[in-house]
Amino acid sequence: MRKPDFFIVGAPRCGTTAMFQYLEQHPQIFGATWKEPHFFGTDTNYPRRPSLEQYLSYFEAAKDEKRIGEASTSYLFSKLAATEIKAFSSSARIIIMLRDPVETMYSVHSMVLYWRNEDIEDFEAALAAEEDRRKGLRWPSKPHIINYLFYRDVVKYAKQVRRYFEVFGRENVQVIIFDDFKKFAPKVYGETLIFLGVEPGFQPDFTVVNSNSTFRSKRLQDFVMDPRWKRIRQKILPGRLDGKVFGRLRVLNTSRKLRQSMDPALRACLQREFLPEVEQLSELLGRDLTFWCRAASSEKTA
């Protein structure tokens, strides 16, 4: 059985879902049947990490496609995923997608609230809880993906990107800036196809995917998302049926709407905090990204 040979490794909330869906539409590309398997990165606490047999089964339907791959956003902030992927697929191509770190943290907070993995609804308060959480305090009542709750760690981009450059070589790593992807999706997509060595003229359906999600019923969301309930359900229902039934419940309980804009004072404070990090990333990539830390946005965001 063929192994995956390209990986979208993150960062979360930076367009990875959209890029994965656009790529898997290409006739020469096969995408894993389970997005975000989180098989690599054994230093993270992903609760449903598949076995090797399960992981390879996500690619068993691949035929003669030139490339097969997957997307898991925990691979970027993991300290081990890069070397683990390299040992598994030595010639793999890596795709990294990055977004304004302040906006990424805000979007990740919204995401983990939706997952019921966070119970501090105020973003500033959730940031303030990070130090206590490192001491084992102020954990959510039902935490199941702990790493995403350290919001600042998720967006330490410079060291994360440098790690992949060192393990795979720059020529095998494509870094995509979310701003470019949002404004010039066809161009960035075409460049990605060239990077993967497949026919560059193909155009997918560029439908917006993975917009901001909230839930209608907190109790139903707990039942659908809580891994403890999932383990009980899977003893009764086969995995695929469980995914179909409860996936449908999750869809019915989901409301799509724009997030309210961040408090301007908080945004300005975080922009100052992350300016040195963005400067390091700019130097690493040879591109000035400090505009992320200058203009405070008043727009509602996804």
Confidence check: pLDDT of 295 > 90: no
**Residue 283, CB-side half-sphere exposure with 13 Å CA sphere:** 7
Confidence check: pLDDT of 164 > 90: yes
Task: Please list the residues that pair with 176 across neighbouring strands.
Answer: 97
User: What is the bridge-based pairing of β-strands 173-177 and 29-31?
Assistant: unpaired
pLDDT tier, 1 (very low <50, low <70, confident <90, very high otherwise): confident
Domains of the chain with bracketed CATH: 6-212+257-293 (3.40.50.300)
Q: In this predicted structure, what is the pLDDT of residue 262? A: 93
Alpha carbons 194 and 28: distance in angstroms, whole number:
12
Whether the CB-CB separation of 55 and 70 falls below 8 Å is answered with no
Confidence check: pLDDT of 252 > 60: no
Taking only the tens place, the pLDDT of each residue in 219-242 is 655 655 665 656 565 566 555 555
Taking only the tens place, the pLDDT of each residue in 33-68 is 988 999 999 999 887 789 999 999 999 999 999 999
Whether the CB-CB separation of 10 and 96 falls below 8 Å is answered with yes
Q: In this predicted structure, what is the pLDDT of residue 80? A: 98
The sign of the dihedral angle between the CA atoms of 27, 30, 36, 40 is negative
Stretch 90-109: mean pLDDT = 97
Q: Which residue has the higher pLDDT, 294 or 39?
A: 39
Q: Which residue has the higher pLDDT, 208 or 214?
A: 208
Taking only the tens place, the pLDDT of each residue in 14-28 is 999 999 999 999 999
Whether the CB-CB separation of 3 and 169 falls below 8 Å is answered with no
Q: How far apart are the first and last CA of the chain?
A: 38
Q: CA nearest 280: which of 269, 288, 292, 272?
A: 288
Confidence check: pLDDT of 204 > 60: yes
**Residue 194, CB-side half-sphere exposure with 13 Å CA sphere:** 8
pLDDT tier, 146 (very low <50, low <70, confident <90, very high otherwise): confident
Greatest pairwise CA separation for the chain in angstroms: 54
Alpha carbons 299 and 297: distance in angstroms, whole number:
6
The DSSP H or E segment spanning 214 is strand 213-215
Taking only the tens place, the pLDDT of each residue in 189-201 is 999 999 999 999 9
pLDDT tier, 160 (very low <50, low <70, confident <90, very high otherwise): very high
pLDDT more than 90, % of the chain: 69
Confidence check: pLDDT of 253 > 80: no
Query: Number of helices and strands (H, E) in the chain?
Result: 15, 7
Alpha carbons 109 and 241: distance in angstroms, whole number:
30
Q: Which two tokens stand for residue 99?
A: 């977004």
Q: Helix, strand, or coil here: 269? A: helix
Stretch 145-153: mean pLDDT = 92
Least confident of 116-120, 132-136, 173-177, 269-273: 116-120
Least confident of 4-8, 192-196, 245-249: 245-249
Q: In this predicted structure, what is the pLDDT of residue 297? A: 47
Q: In this predicted structure, what is the pLDDT of residue 243? A: 53
